[in-house]
């Protein structure tokens, strides 16, 4: 199933304020009408449960209390959120980070800093079901 960026419900989970703003701005400039953010995994899950649906989580891996890995596990086990795509958006781009993200089942991996000229296309490709792994 594919969904357009304009129709998609996207939840950015990012604790760093500037990174959160950049991600949201890029999404909105690309035409996203339903993009939201939360600064913790717990707040993101609670908020997501109140939305009509979530098509995509863009999650930082390294966050306090619960990590992006924790969010992935929670989403995959959640009865109403488990169809959402989960993409790591992180500065942790060591081979070990990428390998672990693949093994755990992320739907993609975008390294920080985001590539502004490519980001909207990458998100649309992910929404179309294509795995996007870009950490360079």
Q: What is the pLDDT of residues 31-78, one digit of tens each?
A: 999 999 999 999 999 999 999 999 999 999 998 899 999 999 999 999
Q: Are 16 and 52 in contact (CB under 8 A)?
A: no
Closest CA to 65 of 15, 107, 10, 109: 15
Supply the pLDDT for residue 1: 64
In this prediction the pTM is 0.95
Supply the pLDDT for residue 126: 96
Residues 6 and 34: their CA atoms lie apart, in Å, by 7
In the DSSP assignment, the letter for residue 11 is E
Alpha-helix runs per DSSP H in the chain: 17-29, 41-48, 68-77, 95-104, 116-127
pLDDT tens-digit series, residues 14-33: 999 999 999 999 999 999 99
Domain 9-134 is of which CATH architecture?
3-Layer(aba) Sandwich (3.40)
Structure-token match 């296309």, residue found: 121
Q: Are strands 9-13 and 85-90 parallel, antiparallel or unpaired?
A: unpaired
- Beta-bridge partners for 56: 10, 85
Residues 22 and 13: their CA atoms lie apart, in Å, by 13
Domain spans of the chain, in order of start: 9-134
């Amino acid at each position: 199933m594919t969904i357009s960026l304009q129709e998609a419900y996207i939840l950015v989970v990012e604790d760093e304020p500037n990174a959160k703003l950049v991600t949201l701005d890029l999404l909105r400039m690309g035409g996203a009408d339903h993009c939201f953010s939360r600064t913790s995994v717990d707040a993101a899950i609670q908020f997501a449960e109140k939305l009509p649906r979530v098509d995509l989580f863009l999650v930082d891996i390294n966050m306090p209390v619960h990590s992006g890995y924790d969010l992935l596990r929670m989403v995959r086990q959640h009865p109403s959120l488990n169809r959402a795509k989960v993409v790591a958006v992180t500065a942790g781009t060591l081979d070990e980070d990428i390998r672990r993200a693949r093994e755990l089942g992320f739907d993609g991996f975008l390294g920080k800093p985001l590539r502004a000229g490519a980001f909207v296309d990458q998100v649309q490709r992910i929404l179309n079901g294509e795995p996007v792994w870009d950490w360079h």
